[in-house]
Amino acid sequence: MAAAKLRSAAAIAIATAVPAASAVLPLRRHRAFLIVRLRGSSCRIPPLRGAAAAMSSSAKAEHEAGAWYAVPGLSLRDHRFAVPLDHSSPDGGAAITVFAREVVAAGKEETSLPYLLYLQGGPGFESPRPMEAGGWLKKACEDHRVVLLDQRGTGLSTPLTPSSLSQITSPAKQVEYLKHFRADNIVKDAEFIRLRLVPDAKPWTVLGQSYGGFCAVTYLSFAPEGLKSVLLTGGLPPLGEPCTAQTVYRACFKQVQQQNEKIYLICTIPCYFVQYRLERVWDPVLVPGAKRSISYYFLKEFDMWLGFDQNPLYALLHESIYCEGSSSKWSAEKIRAEYESLFDPVKATEEGRAVYFTGEMVFPCMFDEIHALRDLKEAAHLLAEKEDWPPLYDVSKLNNNKVPVAAAVYYEDMYVNFNIAKETASQIAGIRLWVTNEYMHSGIRDGGSHVFEHLMGLLNGKKPLF
């Protein structure tokens, strides 16, 4: 029993590397900074209390704008929008708060600039909080007014946490609520915001990283009139099946295996490092006959490795982002079973073999082993069996696309498979591809300025067609 539990826990803690970090900009800095309020601002930043609560659509103004404030090199302003939970509801129904942060280069608060919307990777992660000018954001702010959107359910956008979801006591009702937090409604939120924020409701450019790119392709499918251009970084979604999850994970597991082999071939340190982590799993038995226990040391590090207690949407909706009219049925778990001996961390350690990481996948055992997810276990299983998911893409619209699109496709990407991305690109009329092995999935983080400039060059003609 204990060995089985350890196997399950180790499979999560050691063999699962959640790619949240690769989808987040390097804008957080562990240093003190001063927020400076700018002159000439008459708007008051609204209080945060109640921002996470659902409300009737008439209970709060549709749009509240805060005052400008500053961090080194940037000026920022907070916006809160009261958007329908269900955009298809005839009377608007209940509303939720969606938060966006407007960012410009310092001194350009009143400058007329085209708007660029950034869609964060995920699902279930908020937009970055810039502490200073840097990376792609600094480059984008040279010519744009950037909007960092906390996608619904994340950050300050009515965040869904284990505690907030516990207010909905029935798993079936939790699923009924959670179904509104996929790309289709994120795009509807974006259009709601564009029509109220952008002067004359002009189309804006969208930059989508990873899952944010999936959302951008949904945008191209259902609201292309709101788009001036689209930039995708590791974010071309799979198309063409009612549920593409098994196709995705079968391709990803092969790539993950190759990347594991490379890291262990290049450097022997990871093997020793991972095995060392597993060696600290158990507390010593000090008294003969005493029960063997998993150590607090291991549990603490296990807790720090995973962010499901803060961002449970990643686990809950991770497979449903691939579903259109069919269920995922825990696809990653099914494909992993085909590689059982290869991705069993306990067996690998016992045999002195390299422990292989599984990448971004979510497995049902996580809802048993991760304390913050246990109360959401039934909802997770219902989501895995749910079949009546609405469409996320319109291939015929993409085939006739008129919006300029440029995409960075990473040749060895573990999370968005190169071959699948290339197939999707063939369905988007006019798309320009930059295929590179210089970066991995985290290219927007690791070389953001270069990646952004290269993609803009594809759109503005600085990078020739031939």
Angle between helices 245-266 and 418-425 (to 10 degrees): 130
Tally of domains in the chain: 2
Residues 279 and 363 in one domain: yes
Residues 114 and 211 in one domain: yes
Residues 228 and 290 in one domain: no
- For residue 38, is it within any domain? no
Residues 204 and 176 in one domain: yes
- For residue 24, is it within any domain? no
Residues 165 and 278 in one domain: no
- For residue 168, is it within any domain? yes
Residues 164 and 288 in one domain: no
- For residue 465, is it within any domain? no
Q: Is 309 among the catalytic positions? A: no
Say if CB 420 and CB 238 are below 8 A apart.
Answer: yes
Residues 206 and 299 in one domain: no
* CATH number for the domain that contains residue 428: 3.40.50.1820
For residue 359, what pLDDT is reported? 83
Residues 279 and 172 in one domain: no
Active-site option among 144, 318, 441, 454: 441
The H-or-E segment that residue 74 falls in is strand 74-84
Domain-ending residue, one of 385, 412, 434: 385
Please name every residue paired with 101 in a beta bridge, in sequence order, or none if there are none: 78, 148
User: CA distances (Å), 297 to each of 294, 348, 360, in order?
Assistant: 9, 22, 24
Residues 164 and 225 in one domain: yes
Residues 64 and 213 in one domain: yes
- For residue 248, is it within any domain? yes
Instruction: Report the alpha-carbon distance of residue 343 to residue 409 in Å, rounded.
Output: 27
- For residue 428, is it within any domain? yes
Give residue 116's domain range. 44-238+402-460
Residues 121 and 195 in one domain: yes
Residues 146 and 214 in one domain: yes
Secondary structure of the chain: what % helix, strand, coil (to 5)?
40, 15, 45
Active-site option among 75, 127, 210, 320: 210
Say if CB 107 and CB 130 are below 8 A apart.
Answer: no
- For residue 26, is it within any domain? no
Peptide bond into 123 cis (omega under 30): yes
Ordered mean pLDDT values, 10 residues apiece, the chain (466 residues): 46 42 34 36 35 44 95 98 93 89 97 98 95 96 98 97 95 98 98 97 98 98 98 96 93 91 76 68 88 87 77 96 96 92 83 83 92 95 97 98 97 93 97 95 92 95 76
- For residue 31, is it within any domain? no
Domain-ending residue, one of 385, 417, 434: 385
Domain-ending residue, one of 358, 385, 412: 385
- Backbone φ and ψ of 238, nearest 5°: -75, 145
Active-site option among 30, 42, 91, 388: 388
Q: Is 450 among the catalytic positions? A: no
Instruction: Report the alpha-carbon distance of residue 94 to residue 173 in Å, rounded.
Output: 15
For residue 60, what pLDDT is reported? 64
